[in-house]
Structure 1
Amino acid sequence: MSKLRVQNFSISLDGYGAGTGQSRDEPLGIGGERLHEWMFPTRLWHEMTGQEGGTTGLDNRYLTEGHTGIGATIMGRNMFGPVRGPWSGDPTWSGWWGPNPPYHHPVFVLTHEPRESIPMEGGTVFHFVTDGIDSALEQAAKAADGQDVLVAGGVSTIKQYLRAGLVDIVHLPVVPILLGRGERLLDEPFPGYECTSFVSTDAATHYRLDRVRS
């Protein structure tokens, strides 16, 4: 049975998963890119960005685990792009990642505005879901074909799935910065989850939370 996972979702010491002022130039908001700096030296990141070398320690292990066994992804519209309201506002927008996004499997985007699916290079297909998180999860689980489903973000989307108690595994790298403002993940309790491990590197402390089965 496939699991629903949140993996490699970086937050600041004060609990923010994105800064303020998200835009095309600042997709993670002001200062938000610093949340991902722990990834940049790793071997997997180097492979994904066409570089040689890279570190092979714990940060690389966690990054790799987050990309392993995933058959479909769910994300919110804000993570997909900055376009608001009807898609006619920018009908050409197809995500932040260029013609070949890093997913290489079906991606289900939560939105209130209908849109036709967008096939991309490398096997990524963006599907747009207008009838809520349960429908998106049902479609994603079917598309994953036995593999796990990733909730990639952003903060609002992850919160919705956590509130519903639907996420099985949560991996949060906490990076040693303070953003002060933005989109805060840890501003409310999420009953039904317990911390099962945490380990620190020079770049981040990796927390894993698991859903408690009753």
Structure 2
Amino acid sequence: MPIRPVPLALLAAVGLAGTTVLLTLPRGEAASAAALPPPPAEVVRPAGQQTAVLAGGCFWGMEGVFEHVRGVVSVTSGYAGGTRGSANYGSVSSETTGHAEAVRIVYDPAKVSYGQLLQIFFAAAHDPTQVDGQYPDRGPSYRSAIFPQNDAQRQLAAAYIAQLGKAHAFPKPIATKIETGTFFPAEAYHQDFMRRNPNNGYIQRWDKPRLARFKAAFPQLYVG
């Protein structure tokens, strides 16, 4: 994964259930302080373990954030948006497969809601205003996307994106797309990469700040 300098940005206030904290957002040269509203309430919270699939740049950092969320059972790095035959790192890196690097999150909805996962996704796990890339990584495989696993998730994701846009929560338009596609796990060496390689240069520069933003913004949802 290439490393290029990306300007760091200012501060944004992120709210959860009435709580506001400050965190550093990457990029956004003209960023202004804005409160990120919580998502719409789920009409019916499902019972039993559920699955969410989200794409927000390098899956190392996305996995590293969501595995620290209270109520998350497991996080798997992988690919979504293309075919099974092209779901491998070499092919996806060619930017010709339609895949995005993504994570599959298995969670307990009694402890964390899908809406809360989306709020973490937009507020701390990545920059949803970057188009076809994330931080130093450029190309559609690093795009911001949500892959709903059912109609309820799709409706909630669409409503939240519209809500954030109407509230002008970000200084630039939200680039996140709602897509369809099967999730395919990535190679074994990508799994738990951040936990197994805490001193890796890429992890130190780009992914640990994601985790720090999440911990600062959502202390009630963070688990060590």
User: Which interval holds the TM-score relative to the shorter structure?
Assistant: under 0.3
TM-score norm. by structure 2 comes to 0.26
TM-score norm. by structure 1 comes to 0.27
